[in-house]
Structure 1
Amino acid sequence: MGSLADVGYRTMSHAHAALLRLSRWRLGATVIGMPIVELRTIGRRSGRSRSVILSTPLVDGERIVLVASRGGADHHPSWYRNLVANPMVELTMHGATRPMRARTADPVERAELWPRVVRANGGYEGYQRRTARQIPLVVCEPRH
């Protein structure tokens, strides 16, 4: 994706976040049957709070799985690079914000989770075919 696509993605993310806030998470809280989350990370270079709207194909109890697909682009999304640098994140879902610790699923865990992700949304399989990189799965768990 080029810079124009990045601007479009950021614009849509900000618009979606505004819709969620204005409707108190009554509108736009799911897309294609998947829950929507707002992920807040700390910028790896700026040190500033960054927010992005994502869908989550798997909610497994308190564990929430995110897919760093970036639509099958050849490089990881900024939000993923931010949470690798600082795994302490905040996740808002259904209007409730929780402090979480994010980590990349290890190979064994990914092998178990990937088929479940694809069952939830087959589009992820197409994204993986588009890129040579292995799309990371991010496991977010509550900080205790």
Structure 2
Amino acid sequence: MTALGSLTRRLGHQQWFATTMRLLVPADRLVGRLTKGRVVAFGLVPTLVLTSTGRRSGKPRSNPLVYVPDGDAYVVIGSNWGQRHQPSWTFNLMAHPGAEVDVKGRRIPVTAEQVTGEERERLFQRLVQEWPAYRTYVERAGGREIKVFRLAPTANRS
């Protein structure tokens, strides 16, 4: 891990950092599009771009997310930077589990599954190892359970 990556992980616990990063998400999406998914989150942490289908609009919605691998799948968390409400993409995945991820320039169709129980705890611990501030986000969110999703590759969808 680079010194900048290490500093970013330490700053991730600060409220001002979360607020600033929320404001930078549109710029991060643009950088991800321009680099075809090769650079997301400014290259500081492992990040993918999740494209889900809007539950109401039916339109594609893209969000950069920190992930950890789990076998051939990707694990993401709906932390919303510790806000008290869930991010919209979690509702989109629950309504339409078929999605797509861009990881290091590769576009992969996936099926999302919300994980619960012991499996959720195991995967949450892996996510915390990658981004320790997730523990802070749980506290900041007032104890609401933050949803964890496993995104498993699927055959190309038509």
Q: TM-score range by the shorter chain?
A: 0.7 to 0.9
Between Structure 1 and Structure 2, which shows a larger proportion of helix residues? 2
Superposition deviation, residue 21 in structure 1: 3.0
Are 2:122 and 1:104 aligned?
Answer: no
Query: After the TM superposition, which parts of structure 1 deviate over 3 Å for at least 4 consecutive aligned residues?
Result: 23-32
- Distance in 2 (CA, whole Å) between partners of 1:51 and 1:22 is 14
- TM-score of the pair, normalised by structure 1: 0.83
Contact 1:40 1:89 in 2 (8 A): yes
Partner-residue secondary structure (3-state), 1:54: strand
Gaps of 5+ in 1: none
Superposition deviation, residue 31 in structure 1: 4.5
The 1:133/1:22 distance shift into structure 2, 3 A limit, reads: same
- Distance in 1 (CA, whole Å) between partners of 2:87 and 2:146 is 10
Residues 82-108 of structure 1: CA deviation (Å, up to 9, x unaligned)? 001100000001111111001111212
C-alpha RMSD of the superposition: 2.0
Contact 2:38 2:103 in 1 (8 A): no
How high is the sequence identity, in percent, across the aligned residues? 32
Residues 15-60 of structure 1: CA deviation (Å, up to 9, x unaligned)? 212212323445446644x21111101111111111111111x112
Gaps of 5+ in 2: 1-18
Q: What residue is the counterpart of 2:30 in the other structure? A: 18
Q: Structure 1 counterpart of 2:78, which letter?
A: A
Q: What residue is the counterpart of 1:79 in the other structure? A: 89
